[in-house]
Amino acid sequence: MNHFDIIVIGGGHAGLEAAVASANMGCSVGLLTMDKYAIGRMSCNPAIGGTAKGHLVREVDALGGVMGKIADKTGIQFRMLNKSKGPAVWSPRCQSDRKLYSEEAYNIASSTNNLSIVEANITSFLIENKKIVGVITIDNKEFSCSALILSSGTFLNGKMHTGLTSTKGGRFGEQPATGITQSLIDLGFESGRLKTGTPPRLKKDSINWDVLEVQPGDENPQPFSYSTDISKFPFLPQLSCHITYTNMNVHKILEKGFEQSPMFTGRIKGIGPRYCPSIEDKIVRFADKERHQLFLEPEGLDSDQIYVNGFSSSLPAEIQFEALTNIKGLEECEMLRPGYAVEYDFFPPHQVDLTLETKLIEGLYFAGQINGTSGYEEAAAQGIVAGINAANKIQGKPDFALKRNEAYIGVLIDDLVNKSTEEPYRMFTSRAEYRLLLRQDNADRRLSSYGFNFNLIDENENKKIAEREILINECIKLFHKIKIHARDVNKLLKKKDSPLIDSTGSIAKLSKRSEINLIDLVQFVDVNKYKIVKKLLSDKIAFYQVEIELKYEGYIKRQYELIDKFEKYESANIPLSLNYLTLNALSAEGKEKLNRIKPRSIGQASRISGVTPSDISILLVYLKK
């Protein structure tokens, strides 16, 4: 029997991060996948990042993960979203070359020390005394392990739907994983059914590009990874996307297929994503809208396929095609592949701890869409956390769980465990109460020390981040001290339509004005006298951090005060062995929810739906005793 310290099942975005992280932490890892060349394959949109999702990618990178690095190497368009809003919601996104992304993912996995890629189809688990000890494949081979991470994506009993036609599979052209769900149910796990969808692909040369609105990438694109050499970035030629719209005639054509829609006829039992609905769902839910925006996105530099973002559908292929040919620019389009919905099993995430270890079976971790999430980025975030915790467990090190005030990853997992989910969970900036602190631009400052401690970030990179942190903090202090006289700065203020000052004003105070940029004020500083400012001017990343910290200082301070206020609850630990059913003073719902979720702290307990303030008070009294 082959033995690995850790087995990872599934080579998607969660599995890749889990396998690489735990291998780099010194564990022997077996990445078991049905097709080794499908590692990191983009099942749906050929893109990484987006609103809030870009934050997750930056955080995964700051912990030492690989998604950001792969995106940077294979990106064919980079854009920073939400630039018209505040920096808390700015989110990086890139269009990727689908083929190159998967190739780079395979290259990373195959070249990682301690990591073996094994093509296998797992059907059941080996359990001893409620602890995972191995797996059995479809051809009765056994692999033993000390920990196992299940990251099966949409493959658990996957079924694809186009109109009234259904085929088994977790992704176009790929077989589903069968047996795993029933094995877990037999162990006492609760399962559910979800669905997601993908749009049709069109032939590039059949589209009338001249009549479409062009959406180019950023003029000065920013990479995802902090380790990417900006002087060589971007690495690939950059392409534009294009925009078009549906219309009322298109909506009427789509409605003709409703009688054959697997969603409306009940053939699909799983619940779909509320925030990324199919086109048929959109025209029903938003019947008052005369049109819906569509993005035509290239799938790669050498690909002739165009992804129609915003047109996910499981309607009959002929209806999809007829509707598409009534859209501006697509009148002569050739549909290479119709859209389809995929239905799959998941396991409601109240069954995992904040470490992503399951509560029923020791050493068994769930990561990715098996926990009810949607998206590559949410999966990768869970994958790296599961990989780190599995390695820590084997090496006898403490559990790793990020708090809500530390990372979007902390918000994601806290939400999943405490609230569970009955629909595909998607990350949004609005889910994070401390989002001004959790910006995409400062993920390295927040999380790289963890990555370094786990041996996922090298010493040189960690040293560079630490030195930059000192530079940022020293300059912030200095700009509070340096004052500019009215006679020097008023000319600038008048030019910027900003109120004049009477005597002097500190750089820190003046930089808070929305119409004033820090670079405007630094010109009044003698850089020969203050050499640290000269150093700051040579580091664009540090300079931007200083400007943000100064401009939003009051808001940032307020968020830290809120964190301090609630920290006493977050640090009030609850024994995982506590049997809440014996605490008669708790409400009936409170008992049931607390016993099911097993919160690690009073703070986590207070966020569980159905747990009342009275329940929290009773718990505090009990813990004091």
> Per-residue pLDDT tens for 340-399?
988 999 999 999 999 999 999 999 999 999 999 999 999 999 999 999 999 999 999 999
- Confidence at 418, pLDDT banded by 50, 70, 90: very high
Q: Is the pLDDT of residue 205 over 70?
A: yes
Q: Supply the DSSP symbol for 272.
A: P
Q: Reduced to 3 states, what is the DSSP secondary structure of residue 127?
A: strand
pLDDT tens digits for range 598-622:
999 999 999 988 888 888 988 888 8
Mean pLDDT over the full length of the chain = 93
What pLDDT, on the 0 to 100 scale, is given for residue 428? 92
Handedness of CA 535, 539, 541, 544 (dihedral sign): positive
Q: Return d(Cα 606, Cα 570) in angstroms, integer.
A: 10
Residue with structure tokens 């036609």? Answer: 165
Query: What structural domains and CATH numbers belong to the chain?
Result: 2-63+110-194+344-453 (3.50.50.60), 201-341 (2.40.30.260), 459-557 (1.10.10.1800), 571-624 (1.10.150.570)
Decide if pLDDT at 36 tops 90: yes
Tens digit of each residue's pLDDT (9 = 90 or more) over 307-321: 999 999 989 999 999
Length of the chain: 625
Query: How do residues 330-350 score in pLDDT, each as one tens digit?
Result: 999 999 999 998 899 999 999
Given a contact cutoff of 8 angstroms between Cβ atoms, the answer to whether 169 and 175 are in contact is yes
Rounded CA separation 147/7 (Å): 7
Cα–Cα nearest to 197, from 310, 41, 313:
313
Could you give the C-alpha distances from 459 to 62, 109, 263, in angstroms and in order?
13, 22, 52
**Is the CA virtual torsion 300, 69, 224, 93 positive or negative?**
positive
Residue partners of 267: CB distance under 8 A and separation at least 6: 161, 164, 166
| DSSP 8-state class, residue 277 | -
Write down the residue that tokens 């806290």 correspond to.
Answer: 414
Closest CA to 97 of 48, 35, 170, 54: 48
Find out whether 18 and 386 touch, Cβ atoms under 8 Å. yes
User: Is 43 in contact with 153 (CB distance < 8 Å)?
Assistant: yes
Percent of the chain with pLDDT over 70: 97
**Can you give the pLDDT at residue 325?**
97
